[in-house]
Amino acid sequence: MHARLDELLSLRDGAPVDARVRAHVDECARCAAELARTESLQLSLRALAPAPDAAADGWAEVQSRLAAARAKRPLPARVAPYAAAASVVALALFAALRWTGVPAPAEPWSAPLIVLDTESLDELRSRSQELEALLAELPERPAVARAGTSVPIESLEAQVQWLDHQLTLAGATGQATGTEQLWRDRVEAMNSLVQLRYVEAQQINF
């Protein structure tokens, strides 16, 4: 009885094999040749050439994948609370610095609301100056603002500029007609502008 392939492979690897099989292979030329073939095949496999050089530099690709993996990786659970706390402190500090020297409005929605119908031209001018002063006290606008407040603010600012231009023209030509309405429109626009700027400032200051 000749040796089976699994027995020959075990013999080749020095694994335990039945003594009768070992004795047979020692005496049988055919089985000895088969054992030599298994050894030869193993040597041929080990002698195969390594992979050819890569066409492109793989290190750049690995770095790119590492960067992508870092970007996607969530913060470890033990770090997340500290990171959140640090973010809160940083935002609070940022807001506090932005408000330095500027008294925070106790009641933002208590910004002056006026009943325009009852005011004269002088009262409208006075009211407009008060609103200008309030606006000047507010902090600078943030570099990044919400579109919901930013767009109307910019629209109102453009409206005030246009009204100022109209008032200047009216003053230069001595026209009294319509001046009161222009001032009334200006006070109304300034009133809306101040309130929106308060809202925007509140968003910065939580």
Partner 1 sequence: MSAFLDSDLPPDAVSLARAGDLAAQEAIYRAFQKPVRTLARRLVPRPSQAEDLAHDVFVEVLQSLGQYDGRGSFAGWIRTITVRKCLMHLRSPWHRGLRWVDGLMPPDADAPEGGRADASRDGRSLDLERALAQLGDTARAVVWLHDVEGYTHAEIGALLGGTASLSKSQLVRAHARLRELLEPDGVKTPCMPVSTNC
For residue 45 the two structure tokens come to 């496999």
Q: Does 77 bind partner 1 (CB under 8 A)?
A: no
CA dihedral sign, ordered 71, 73, 76, 80: positive
Q: What are phi and psi of 52, to 5 degrees?
A: -65, 160
In the complex with partner 1, the residue whose CB is nearer, 1 or 113, is 1
Q: Does 44 bind partner 1 (CB under 8 A)?
A: yes
- All residues at 6 or more sequence positions from 150 whose CB lies less than 8 Å from its CB, including other chains: 200
Counting residues that bind partner 1 (by CB under 8 A) gives: 30
CB of residue 68 vs partner 1: minimum separation in angstroms? 9
CB of residue 26 vs partner 1: minimum separation in angstroms? 16
Residue 119 contacts residue 188 (beta carbons within 8 Å): no
Candidates 41-49, 85-93, 141-149, 191-199; binding stretch for partner 1 (CB under 8 A)? 41-49
Placement of tokens 């246009």 in the chain: 162
Per CB under 8 A, which of residues 46..65 are in contact with partner 1? 46-52, 54, 58-59, 61-62, 65
In the complex with partner 1, the residue whose CB is nearer, 38 or 159, is 38
Among 3, 21, 124, 189, binds partner 1 (CB under 8 A): 3
- For 75-90, b where at least 16 C-beta lie within 10 A, e where not — what string? eeeeeeeeeeeeeeee
Per CB under 8 A, which of residues 8..37 are in contact with partner 1? 9, 30, 34, 37
Q: Does 79 bind partner 1 (CB under 8 A)?
A: no
Please give the C-alpha separations between residue 92 and each of 87, 97, 105, 115, 203, in angstroms, as whole numbers: 9, 9, 17, 37, 12
Candidates 45-53, 87-95, 96-104, 113-121; binding stretch for partner 1 (CB under 8 A)? 45-53
Determine the Cα–Cα distance for residues 21 and 25; give it in Å rounded to an integer: 6
Q: What are phi and psi of 106, to 5 degrees?
A: -65, -40
In the complex with partner 1, the residue whose CB is nearer, 11 or 111, is 11
Residue 199 contacts residue 105 (beta carbons within 8 Å): no
Candidates 40-48, 104-112, 144-152, 178-186; binding stretch for partner 1 (CB under 8 A)? 40-48
Judged by the rule CB under 8 A, the positions of this chain that interact with partner 1 are 1-6, 9, 30, 34, 37-38, 41-42, 44-52, 54, 58-59, 61-62, 65-66, 69
